[in-house]
Amino acid sequence: MWDPDAYKRALDFAAKAHGAQTVPGGGFPYVVHLTKVAAEVMRACAEDEGLDATLAVTCALLHDSVEDAGVSREQLVGAFGAKVADGVEALTKRESVPKPERMLDSLARIAAQPREIAIVKLADRITNLEPAPPQWSAEKRAAYREEAKQILDALQGRCAWLEARLAQKIAEYAV
């Protein structure tokens, strides 16, 4: 089980880091996205007791803190240790990589991490496969669904529960 104090510490840190940022399209504070991802991860940890739930839930709450909120690796190491920082770093797309290759680059780094990091990625895409913002073209929605399939393929075998759930969300996603 996850440590509720670790959850609160990571949530406070993430809320401060993301500040007034909102969820694209939804208008909700960004922490709404983060807690949805954490909820998926918590359920996965309840289904699969071999997971380090505190590591997984902490990384779920912090997964966008480097990419979207400018938090540094040093800050994460200082506050949460190297294991969490390594996980969040793998979950961060690198701007130095050409855009079409960024997701696969990140997935390769996630695949080399403990499976707790992979389940955060699965949970993130499950959360993001909500109905697309109205301004998205059919082409963009189709590309987003394809990318979700890439994630599922790249992270096979990490968590049966979340993989089944992501497969279902992909099947239901309207393009």
Residues forming the active site:
67-68
Least distance from Ni ion to the Cβ atom of residue 137, Å: 22
Stretch that binds Ni ion, among 4-12, 84-92, 103-111, 120-128 (CB under 5 A): 120-128
- Asked if residue 40 binds Ni ion (CB under 5 A), the reply is no
Question: Which residues are registered as beta bridge partners of 18?
Answer: none
Q: Would you give the DSSP letter of residue 132? A: P
Of the two residues 5 and 173, which places its CB atom closer to Ni ion in the complex? 173
Q: How far is the CB of 161 from Ni ion (least distance, A)?
A: 19
Whose Cβ is closer to Ni ion: residue 124's or residue 163's?
A: 124
- Pair 150, 166: CB distance under 8 Å: no
* Both structure tokens of 96: 């130095």
User: Of the candidates 9, 5, 10, 4, which has an alpha carbon nearest to the alpha carbon of residue 120?
Assistant: 10
How far apart are CB 92 and Ni ion at their closest, in Å? 11
Q: Which is nearer to Ni ion, 133 or 138 (CB)?
A: 133
- d(CA 3, CA 55) in angstroms, rounded, equals 9
Q: Confirm or reject binding of residue 64 to Ni ion (CB under 5 A).
A: yes
- The reply on whether position 116 binds Ni ion by CB under 5 A is no
Grouping H, G, I as helix, E, B as strand and the rest as coil, residue 18 is helix
Report the residue number, 64 or 89, with the smaller CB distance to Ni ion. 64
Q: Which of 86, 89, 116, 124 binds Ni ion (CB under 5 A)?
A: 124
Q: Of 58-66, 79-87, 91-99, 101-109, which part binds Ni ion (CB under 5 A)?
A: 58-66
Size of the site for Ni ion (CB under 5 A): 2
Nearest residue by C-beta to Ni ion?
Answer: 124
Whole-number Å distance between alpha carbons of 135 and 58? 33
- The DSSP result for 29-86, as a single string, is BHHHHHHHHHHHHHHHHHH-TTS-HHHHHHHHHHTTTTTTT---HHHHHHHH-HHHHH
Give me the residues that bind Ni ion (CB under 5 A), please: 64, 124
